[in-house]
Amino acid sequence: MFPRSIDEVIRALEAHRYIAERGLATAIFLALRLNRPLFLEGEPGVGKTEVAKVLADLLETELIRLQCYEGLDVHSAVYEWDYARQILQIRMLEASGERDEARIRQQIFSPDFLIKRPLLQALEAKNGRPPVLLIDELDRADEEFEAFLLELLSDWQITIPEIGTVRAEQPPVVVITSNRTREIHDALKRRCLYFWIDYPSFEKEIQIVRARIPEAPERLTRQIVAFVQELRRLDLYKLPGVAETLDWTAALLALDRTELDPTVVDETLGVLLKYQDDVLKVRGEIAQDLLAKALLRAEIASGGA
C-alpha cells in the first residue's frame, strides 16, 4: 500500500508494530512523496534501522541493506566481477580455439559475470515496485564513500566501464542512518529529509513495549518504562535506548517476574547499561532511589488510565 496521508502512515506503521511520533511520520510520508532519502539520526537503540524494515513491509517490497564500515568500496557496495568464473570462461574459450581478444573480452565482461552488490541491486525494481534501500550507520564509512553516495543520490545511475550506465527507472526509497561517530557532510544531509529520533515519552514508550511484547503484564510494563525513563535523566556514558527497554522486558519475563523489586533491578541492570562505570554508579543506592520514584509514577499512571 502507498499511504495517502500522514495519519495513514501512522496507522500503517502501528499495524506493523512501529509506534512513530507525528514528526517522524511526516518525514516518512514526505520521503515517499518527494522521492527524497530519509536521513535518521539519534542515540543508539531508538529504532532508526527499524524504520527501514517496517517501511519495506508496509510497501510490500524488498529491503536491501548496506551496512557501512571503514574502507567500504565500490567492490562491496556496488558491483564486483566474478573472477573465478571469468578465468574458467577464458580457459574454455581457449580450448575451443577462440583467439580473438575483443570477442573474449566481450564475453567475459557481460552482465552474466557481474555480481551485484546492494547499491546496484537497489536500482532495479522487482515486480514494478522500487525496493527500500537501507544505508546503515553511514558515519562508519569514510568520506570517499560519502562523496560517491552524494553522486548516486542525485542521479540514480551507476556507470560500469565495461558495460555502460545503469539507471534506475524508479528510484528506491532510501533510509540512511547515522550514530554520529563522525559528522556527515551537510551537502549530503541537505539532499535528504532529516529527522532526529529522540527517546520516546513515557506514554509512547509504553505503547512501544505493548506493541512489541504484548504478553508483558500491564503493571510490569509501566514499572519498567518508568524506571528506564528515570534512568535517562542521569549523567551516564550510554543511556539505555528503546532496544534496551525491550531487552529488559524480555529478560524479566523470562525470569517470571511480575513486578520490579530492588534485587531483580540490581541483578539485571547489565541488560540496560552497557558500561561497567555506569553499572557501578547506578547499582545499589541510586537504583533503589530510582525504583521508588518509578513505582510511584507507574502507580499514578495506572490510576489516571
81 part of the interface to another protein, by CB under 8 A: yes
Find the helix or strand (DSSP H, E) in which 228 lies.
helix 218-231
2 part of the interface to another protein, by CB under 8 A: no
Nearest-approach distance from CB 101 to another protein, in angstroms:
6
Size of the residue set binding another protein (CB under 8 A): 49
Q: Which of 8, 14, 30, 219 binds another protein (CB under 8 A)?
A: 30
In the complex with another protein, which residue's Cβ is closer, 41 or 62? 41
CB count within 10 Å of CB 224 equals 26
Q: Closest separation between CB of residue 248 and another protein, Å?
A: 22
Q: Does 23 bind another protein (CB under 8 A)?
A: yes
CA distances from 31 to 10, 139, 171 (A): 14, 21, 12
Interacting span for another protein (CB under 8 A) from 84-92, 119-127, 199-207, 240-248: 84-92
CA angle in degrees (0–180, nearest 5) for 250-65-201:
40
Say how far apart CA 150 and CA 44 lie, in whole Å.
Answer: 24
- Contact status: 227 vs another protein (CB under 8 A): no
94 contributes a contact to another protein by CB under 8 A: yes
Three cell numbers, residue 246: 525491550
Cα–Cα distances (Å) from 67 to 177, 188, 255, 267, 288, in that order, read 10, 18, 34, 34, 40
**Is 103 an interacting residue with respect to another protein (CB under 8 A)?**
no
Q: Report the site for another protein in 187-206 (rule: CB under 8 A).
A: 189-196
Q: Which residue number, 71 or 284, has a Cβ lying nearer to another protein?
A: 71
The C-alpha cell 513491509 sits at 57
3-state secondary structure of 142: coil
Q: Which whole-number Å values give the CA distances from 296 to 148, 170, 202, 260, 265, in the listed order?
A: 53, 53, 14, 12, 16
The residues in 111-170 that bind another protein, with binding defined as CB under 8 A, are 142, 144
Alpha helix segments (H runs only) across 96-141: 101-108, 118-121
Q: Is 181 in the site for another protein (CB under 8 A)?
A: yes
76: contact with another protein by CB under 8 A: no
- Among residues 8, 14, 16, 26, the one that binds another protein under rule CB under 8 A: 26
Q: Are 29 and 12 in contact (CB under 8 A)?
A: no
* Options 96, 128, 183, 254; binder of another protein; rule CB under 8 A: 183
Considering only 60, 73, 203, 261, the residue that binds another protein (CB under 8 A) is 73
The DSSP 8-state label assigned to residue 71 in this structure reads: T
| Residue of 238, 216, 237 whose CA lies nearest to 225 | 216
Residues of the shown chain interacting with another protein in the complex, contacts defined by CB under 8 A: 6, 22-23, 26-27, 29-30, 33-34, 36, 39, 41, 69-71, 73, 75, 80-81, 83, 86-87, 90-91, 93-94, 99, 101, 104-105, 142, 144, 179-183, 186, 189-196, 235, 237, 277
